Structure 1
């Protein structure tokens, strides 16, 4: 049997930056052969393993280092074996990361002992606009688009489990903490302000517990893709459309649009969006398209979206002020290593989806 983990021991040599639930350190890693060592960055999820200190001996999972992963190219601290954290006997009996060595016990909003149990008995989300995105990098741009027109709108983030499972991994979430009314981690994802069993209860929690006006659904950092039609974690966008519709919400599909991606399958409208919204989604959604794209790109986008227009509503959205709103964000925008200026159509499409959600909120409030 082939081992699936690369175990190593190391020593913490330097404390680097830290953010909510996460600490970045420098470690000296003992190689398998002899006494040779290498130096690398490592991450500790402090709520799981405790706070690392200089000189600590640590047990590491070095898979990401060995494979040279872009997102998450860290050694991960599995334990600080000589200084284990105190046992925590908190409420809750929902297990996430189930049957893995680091399975976590959490309190889910929808379980019996939850203080939010009554709120979670709701059957729907009352027409709430929900913006659905393929990549975690879309999140801040969508928030910017919402708050450009509705600065007081309460926005909750529902994090699915297609990318990073611990919400703590995301520096973006740490930077957006003042802009979000709550983070709900669903499925096997964990570490949000609230935990939920699945996307349906996650959406109800966003509406009824976080009291959100608008929700954003996207996976955590580090999506999975194999370059095949169906082999990518973003198919969950189609599932999310179905869930929002089932809960009487208003699904809005944020399109993944780019003219900077070198991979043909992601040029114009990414095949991720075309597959998720065109073949997985069984309910209708609004698909906002930003105005002002380069003419050639705009023509290509229209052609690619034509087959989807039979089910979905293609919505043109003006982009005035959106670039400025994105530049004013407290976090830096980056997707696949490209900045706002290097992949402007991508970020404009995300912000346009947020702006469209804000416009629907205006309509909902006028009817209330």
Structure 2
């Protein structure tokens, strides 16, 4: 390892000189180390890398990932928890679940069975998280907001620089399923929502997958089907599901224009419980026309319109940049505005009314 780069919660960028196996191999690569798993790297350390994502040219995961520092192994971790995440892989890690016996939240969660009507905003992509959060705080600046991270994308919460930048605005992060590295750990989305409500004392929760998502371009072949499952979990626990639609007039792919087929499948087919699906009060005419044609596929849900005044300013005031599929706020304004509108609507529910 020849140089240290940026650092944020749980992660460190490195520059690594490769032992090249073919003339096509680069001389150096950018790598990412999760310090909680492999220890603290130093210049000169040998590193063992996984380069699959880098070679595949993945836009989100395009790092080489550090598997180990062979000459500087970390101390054995001592954790009171017995829950294993990234199970049965070489990187599996032990965590303390929020509802385990050794957890300080055990008493609050041992008998918890509902979330008391808490609004829960569900979304397909991690890029919606900051926009939803901006909308919540635009509608209720003092509301406590928890992020519940599902395992359709990145498994370590540490991978997300966006999440690191949003930390001061969040009551905390709960990592669920195979994800790990949040302020609290949970076994599944149900216990994640219970932890958000009863341990983090959230007024509103946001549920999305971590950075990156898997999609094959088919009706069912994408990791965001978990959005519909989160709606069902919210309803089962007595919460109020609020759907942030994946909506765009900038995506070059027809299946994502207007309401993305991801949202049409997740809400229209996977979500069996009704949710409030939020749209901004005004959309560009061509986009509005396409959306109106698509709405019948979401028939079991209630579509609500929320005024968008002030939301653009709230989005621009965020402490993190906005980007979805490489497009920023101005390039895909409708996407981020729709997510912010869902956040504003949830804030209205949490404060005793409905934002319109």
| TM bin (shorter chain) | over 0.9
Partner residue of 2:178? 188
User: 1:90-110 CA deviation, whole Å, 9 max, x = no partner?
Assistant: 210000000000100000012
Deviation of 1:306 (Å): 2.0
User: 1:276-321 CA deviation, whole Å, 9 max, x = no partner?
Assistant: 0000000000000112210110111121012313x10000111000
Deviation of 1:72 (Å): 1.3
TM-score normalised by L of structure 2? 0.97
Contact 1:110 1:197 survives alignment (8 Å): no
Note closer, same or farther for the CA distance 1:318–1:87 as it changes in structure 2 (3 Å cut): same
Q: Partner of 1:118: helix, strand, or coil?
A: helix
State whether structure 2 residue 121 is matched by structure 1 residue 123: no
Q: Distance in 2 between matches of 1:323 and 1:36?
A: 44
Partner residue of 1:152? 142
Contact 2:149 2:173 survives alignment (8 Å): yes
Unpaired segments ≥5 residues, structure 2? none
State whether structure 2 residue 268 is matched by structure 1 residue 285: no
Deviation of 1:323 (Å): 0.4
Partner residue of 2:351? 362
Partner residue of 1:318? 307
Deviation of 1:31 (Å): 2.0
Q: Distance in 2 between matches of 1:336 and 1:30?
A: 33
Q: Partner of 2:136: helix, strand, or coil?
A: helix
Of 160, 166, 174, 2:164 maps to 174
Partner residue of 1:108? 97
Contact 2:264 2:297 survives alignment (8 Å): no
Partner residue of 2:19? 30
Unpaired segments ≥5 residues, structure 1? 1-11
**CA RMSD of the aligned region, Å?**
1.4
State whether structure 2 residue 16 is matched by structure 1 residue 15: no
Query: Which residues in structure 2 correspond to 1:215-294 (within 5 Å)?
Result: 215-294=205-284
Contact 2:306 2:345 survives alignment (8 Å): yes
Partner residue of 1:85? 74
State whether structure 2 residue 105 is matched by structure 1 residue 132: no
Of 42, 55, 70, 1:66 maps to 55
Q: Distance in 2 between matches of 1:339 and 1:330?
A: 14
Aligned residues: 353
Of 330, 350, 367, 2:319 maps to 330
Q: Distance in 2 between matches of 1:147 and 1:37?
A: 45
Q: Distance in 2 between matches of 1:163 and 1:256?
A: 16
Which one has a larger percent strand, Structure 1 or Structure 2?
Answer: 1
Q: Distance in 1 between matches of 2:13 and 2:83?
A: 28
User: 1:213-261 CA deviation, whole Å, 9 max, x = no partner?
Assistant: 0000000000110000000000001100000000000000100000110
Partner residue of 1:6? none
User: 1:182-240 CA deviation, whole Å, 9 max, x = no partner?
Assistant: 10000000000000000000000000000000000000000110000000000001100
Of 98, 110, 127, 2:87 maps to 98
User: 1:136-179 CA deviation, whole Å, 9 max, x = no partner?
Assistant: 00000000001012000000000000000000000011100110
Q: Partner of 2:65: helix, strand, or coil?
A: strand
Of 144, 155, 158, 1:165 maps to 155
Partner residue of 2:293? 303
Q: Distance in 2 between matches of 1:214 and 1:34?
A: 53
Moved over 3 A (4+): 33-37
Q: Distance in 2 between matches of 1:35 and 1:64?
A: 16
TM-score normalised by L of structure 1? 0.94
